[in-house]
């Protein structure tokens, strides 16, 4: 194992980089893993991820506490000081496996090494007080107003409470802090070969203790953090891909037939396209588009690994109208850019970008894309609109708008292969899964039939 000090030093570097606008913390951690900065140890990597992502996730809560205890407010402290304080406080309050003396001493040493003795003493005094009064501070956090308790901007809490009611808003926010296993989708073609599938699942279970079937979609599998996916049995052979179960429902809802022609207008990172292509007679019946070559390159790489290289993949801006695509597809998938409030448990940075102006901008973008996509579906065909958020403006309101502006009607999901618990939750052609429900991300799906 790398020395704990070096892992904490790397964590501090990543938090400062994030603060300087060099990327979201989840992306910065992935970059550190790719560069092997955290070493080969799965324990080191897990510690780095929990410390950095957890600190950012609890930022509002931590800053509120530090502001109470410090003579200088967080915003006026040097980046090294405030991020060392945040890291130390997070370890003391939320990382049960970390000894208090390690959280304090090593945070202090980082500041002393990078700055001087005086700011190190400042950090030492605050962290030692948090250790002494930890239980009182935790109770006060539990009794604080929801934005501080759940580390949310007031706008986001008010949105959840207004649209879902206080009790449901509390459940949504609490779910963001519940650790979730990784979900993978076995290739549908592999599932048809029972002997080969059983052999692969046994090998996977040996490699990842704790493997289990997803309660909502039993053909999907859930894994405790497996580390480097590329080392898992079947990865190179394309036996599986990472995909949240809720997102996969958008493909299931479409009721895709083997002979259909399918268009995915905003395909990256590609989970839905790969799933849909595997259901077709030939993957070339699917066209996957996204706005940049970088995103399409990633999709091509995954398609090659999943033995679906026949898929058509091209760079195209979905806000531009494609006359050649008019009425050319049986199924059009529109999983569109959104606020992402359904995946806050995995992408904590999203909360700090939330705001009314952002929502309004996203709704305009979504409607621009839907206006184009609506004309690509053949008469009698299916359009699926989906997002990974819980904002009514982006979900139910957009669905009602599309049905009122274009020759579409929201329709049932009778030909979709769905578990009973989900089928019963579909209302007027729409399904809203809230974060934490069904052990999945928050997700919205609306299914439309073109009537003209």
Catalytic residues: 388
Cα 8 to Cα 167: distance, rounded to the nearest angstrom: 38
- What DSSP element (H or E) covers 155? helix 154-164
Quickly count helices (H) and strands (E) in the chain.
19, 12
Distances (CA, A) of 216 to 149, 219, 387, 420, 443: 30, 9, 19, 9, 14
Burial class (CB in 10 A: 0-12, 13-18, 19+), 16: middle
Q: Coil, strand, or helix at residue 378? A: strand
User: Which conformational region is residue 438 in: left (phi greater than 0), alpha (psi within -120 to 50 degrees), or beta?
Assistant: left
Torsion angle of alpha carbons 142, 145, 150, 154, nearest 10°?
A: 180
Maximum CA extent, the chain:
75
Distance CA 344, CA 81 (A): 27
Torsion of CA 254, 259, 262, 267, to 10 degrees: 80
Q: Let me know: does 445 contact 431? Beta carbons within 8 Å.
A: yes
**What ranges in 194-341 are assigned the alpha helix state H?**
194-207, 245-253, 271-278, 293-305
Question: DSSP string spanning 273-314?
Answer: HHHHHHTSSSGGGEEEEES-HHHHHHHHHHHHHTT-TTSEEE
Calculate ∠ Cα 67-72-77, nearest 5°: 95
- For residues 188 and 359, give the distance between their C-alpha atoms in angstroms, rounded to a whole number: 36
Question: What gap in Å lies between CA 400 and CA 152, rounded to an integer?
Answer: 29
Tell which residue, 77, 136, 139, 74, has the closest CA to residue 111: 77
């Amino acid at each position: 194992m790398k020395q704990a000090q070096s892992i904490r030093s790397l964590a501090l570097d990543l938090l400062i980089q994030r603060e300087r606008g060099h990327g979201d913390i989840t992306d910065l951690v992935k970059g550190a893993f790719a560069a092997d900065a955290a070493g080969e140890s799965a324990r080191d990597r897990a510690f780095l991820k929990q410390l950095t992502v957890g600190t950012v996730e609890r930022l509002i809560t931590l800053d509120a506490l530090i502001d109470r205890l410090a003579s200088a407010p967080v915003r006026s402290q040097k980046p090294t000081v405030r991020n060392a304080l945040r890291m130390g406080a997070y370890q003391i309050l939320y990382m049960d496996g970390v000894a208090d003396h390690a959280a304090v001493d090593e945070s202090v040493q980082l500041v002393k090494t990078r700055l001087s003795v005086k700011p190190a003493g400042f950090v030492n005094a605050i962290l030692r007080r948090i250790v002494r009064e930890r239980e009182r501070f935790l109770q006060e956090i539990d009794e604080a107003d929801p934005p501080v308790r759940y580390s949310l901007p007031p706008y986001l809490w008010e949105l959840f409470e207004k649209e879902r009611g206080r009790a449901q808003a509390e459940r949504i926010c609490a779910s963001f802090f519940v650790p979730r296993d990784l979900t993978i989708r076995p290739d549908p073609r592999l599932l048809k070969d029972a002997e080969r599938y059983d052999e692969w699942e046994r090998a996977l279970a040996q490699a990842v203790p704790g493997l289990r079937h997803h309660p909502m979609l039993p053909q999907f599998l859930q894994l405790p953090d497996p580390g480097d996916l590329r080392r898992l049995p079947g990865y190179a052979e394309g036996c599986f891909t990472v995909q949240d179960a809720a997102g996969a429902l958008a493909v299931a809802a479409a009721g895709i037939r083997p002979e259909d022609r399918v268009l995915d207008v905003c395909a990256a990172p590609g989970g839905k396209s790969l799933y849909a292509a595997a259901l077709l007679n030939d993957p070339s019946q699917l066209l996957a588009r996204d706005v940049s070559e970088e995103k399409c390159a990633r999709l091509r790489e995954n398609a090659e690994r999943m033995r679906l290289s026949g898929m058509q993949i091209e760079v195209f801006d979905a806000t531009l109208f494609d006359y050649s695509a008019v009425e050319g597809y049986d199924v059009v998938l529109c999983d569109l850019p959104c606020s992402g409030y359904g995946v806050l448990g995995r992408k904590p940075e999203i909360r700090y970008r939330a705001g009314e102006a952002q929502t309004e901008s996203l709704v305009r973008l979504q409607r621009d894309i839907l206006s184009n996509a609506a004309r690509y579906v053949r008469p009698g065909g299916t359009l699926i609109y989906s997002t990974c958020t819980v904002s009514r403006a982006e979900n139910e309101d957009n669905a009602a708008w599309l049905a009122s502006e274009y020759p579409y009607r929201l329709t049932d999901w009778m030909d979709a292969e769905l578990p009973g618990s989900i089928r019963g939750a579909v209302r007027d052609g729409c399904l809203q899964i809230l974060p934490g429900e069904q052990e999945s991300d928050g997700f919205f799906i609306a299914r439309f039939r073109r009537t003209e």
